[in-house]
Amino acid sequence: MTQRVPYSPERVSIAIGLCVVMLSALPRYMVGGYETRQTLLLMALAFVAGAAFLQWRMLSASARKALPRLLRRLVVMFVMGVMVMGAWHGLFTDWISWQVFISHAATCGLLFHAVSLWWTSRD
């Protein structure tokens, strides 16, 4: 039985994606006047960003070299999230605010990224 390493470039890329998702949700809370939620989100963002940084520091040199490829993949998945959520909201909902749209699109993109990493790891 092999022991899994608690840090990997895949986990770092997902943590960075989670930071982007949290940043994309901030405009919703700013416009809605939810200062308490905004503060909690900023605290969570600082925690996740710190954890991602620490995990990045613990990566081996070869694992760090894999990170740019994963970040490019993350950006592609965010673009796919924009396209999918744009089509979804265009077909099935009335127009929503841009704040909600970017939050939904970023969340969808991060889900695509995480699922695609899971699928490729199972091969």
Token pair of 63 as six digits: 């694992």
Q: Quick check: 123 pLDDT over 60?
A: no
Mean pLDDT of 101-108: 97
Q: What is the pLDDT of residue 95?
A: 78
Q: Delimit the domains of the chain by residue range.
A: 9-122
Token pair of 66 as six digits: 């894999």
Phi/psi region, residue 54 (left: phi>0; alpha: psi -120 to 50; beta: rest), is alpha
Q: Quick check: 1 pLDDT over 60?
A: no
Mean pLDDT of 85-103: 91
pLDDT band at 2 (very low <50, low <70, confident <90, very high): low
Q: Could you tell me the pTM of the whole model?
A: 0.90
Q: Quick check: 6 pLDDT over 70?
A: no
